Amino acid sequence: MQEEIQVVRIRTARYRRERRSVSLAREFARMALADWDRKDRADDIVLCVSELATNALLHGVPPGREYRLWLALGAVDGVLRVEVHDSGGGEPRVPERGGAWTEECGRGLLLVAALADAWGVEGRVPGKVVWCEWWPEGAGRLA
């Protein structure tokens, strides 16, 4: 019996704690998606990269540190996964219903939750990983 090997395409980049890093992260994601010919939902994916990078920059990266953007595309299953690794504390979560859309901050994870097929937070030492996934068209979506 032959064992199937899961091939994954991976791109990763590190960004310093500076404002321009968010636009650099968006461009990095756009380039990876174009190279992988992953045009479906590209705008949603880049928007979520922007939101997660912004959150890492504002809340997750202590002075003098950086955050890492990690993109992976499963060659067999076609799942695209985005991860943002930072060294800050806390656990990001979607704000309670009500004031989030009228507040200056707090909408980023609402957008991620609405646009991605799945998302979550995992601990790491130090800090955390905030991730989101998109499945190929027709693969369904978790409620």
pLDDT at 143: 41
Tell me how many domains the chain contains: 1
For each of the chain's 143 residues, which pLDDT tens digit applies? 555 556 689 999 999 999 899 999 999 999 999 999 999 899 999 999 999 999 999 888 888 889 999 999 998 899 999 999 999 887 777 777 655 555 556 678 999 999 999 999 998 888 999 999 999 876 555 44
Range of 58's domain?
8-134
Q: How many angstroms from the chain centroid is the CA of residue 81?
A: 7
Cis ω on the peptide bond leading into residue 126 (within 30° of 0)? yes
- DSSP of 89-122, one letter per residue? -S---PPPTTGGGTSSS--HHHHHHHHSSEEEEE
pTM across the whole model: 0.85
Domain holding 71: CATH number?
Answer: 3.30.565.10
What are phi and psi for residue 122, nearest 5 degrees?
-125, 145
38 within domain boundaries: yes
Residue 2 lies in a domain: no
Q: Is residue 140 part of a domain?
A: no
pLDDT at residue 49, as a whole number: 98
Distance CA 118, CA 138 (A): 15
Can you give the pLDDT at residue 35? 96
Those residues whose C-beta lies under 8 Å from the C-beta of residue 122, and which sit 6 or more positions away, are: 128, 129, 131
The first and second tokens of residue 128, run together, are: 């955390």
